[in-house]
Structure 1
Amino acid sequence: MERAEQVAHETEPWATDSHSLKGWKSNQSVLDRLVAETGGELLTASVHVPDERGVGLLGTVEVMMVGHASDGWLADDEVSYQVCVRFDVRRETSGPREITPAPIDCPPGVPATRAPQ
């Protein structure tokens, strides 16, 4: 989850404010960037407000990321596990886009752990 929070924090300045419309990207491109930055696998994505000047919940994207944890003293004991996260992209009446990550249950059929790459 720390990685998801880092991705949200790093993407937010890039997606900051589209009010000037000078080079700022669409809400869809913000969702695409979140998936790319996580290095994860897209589960679902939905743009709720296509208007770049829109307010409220602009879009959501769910991503399956890979986390790593150590089971013991040796690096060989490291376990890779699935982390599923939803990113909400919203904007208040005036202001920049805000990106909030929240853990979600992974879909059925997604194994809890994965083999080393």
Structure 2
Amino acid sequence: MAEAEQAAHETEPWATDSHNLGGWASNQAVLDHLVFLTQGERLTSVVHNPDERGVGRLATLEVLLVQSASSLWMGGDEKDYNVCVRFEVRRASSGPREITPETIDCPPGVPAAPTPR
């Protein structure tokens, strides 16, 4: 989950960077940037309001992330597991967009561990 929180934290200022030639990034570009930063697999994404300066819920993204965990009591073996995260992109009546990640139950068909490559 730390990667998702870091991606949200880094995307918020990127989305409103006044140095962009086009001004604020579109809500779709924000979702694309989150997928890029997390290196996750996009499960669903919806732009609820195409106006990047809109108010309320602007966009929602669900991604599948691969996390690693090491357990010392198991001889230090590192295990990979899948985590699904939902990002909500919102904006209050004034100010920049806020991006909030939260873990969610993965949809049916997503295994608990990634498939070996």
Equivalent residue, structure 2, for 1:73: 75
- Listed one character per residue, the Cα deviations across residues 35-90 of structure 1 (whole Å, up to 9, x for unaligned) are 1111000000000010122110000000000000013333xx21110010000000
- 8 Å Cα contact 2:41/2:64 also seen in 1: yes
2:49, 2:75 → 1: CA distance?
A: 48
TM-score under structure 2 normalisation?
Answer: 0.88
- 8 Å Cα contact 1:80/1:116 also seen in 2: no
| Partner-residue secondary structure (3-state), 1:114 | coil
1:17, 1:89 → 2: CA distance?
A: 16
CA shift at 1:11, angstroms? Answer: 1.1
- Moved beyond 6 Å, runs of 4+: none
Structure 1 residues 52 and 17: alpha-carbon distance in aligned structure 2, compared to 1, 3 A threshold: farther
CA shift at 1:22, angstroms? Answer: 4.5
1:36, 1:70 → 2: CA distance?
A: 25
- 8 Å Cα contact 1:60/1:88 also seen in 2: yes
Equivalent residue, structure 2, for 1:2: 2
- 8 Å Cα contact 2:70/2:79 also seen in 1: yes
1:9, 1:43 → 2: CA distance?
A: 21
Equivalent residue pairs, number: 113
| Partner-residue secondary structure (3-state), 1:113 | coil
Equivalent residue, structure 2, for 1:110: 110
- 8 Å Cα contact 2:16/2:25 also seen in 1: no
TM-score under structure 1 normalisation?
Answer: 0.88
Two-structure CA RMSD over aligned residues (Å):
1.8
Give the fraction of aligned pairs with identical amino acids, expressed as a percent: 67
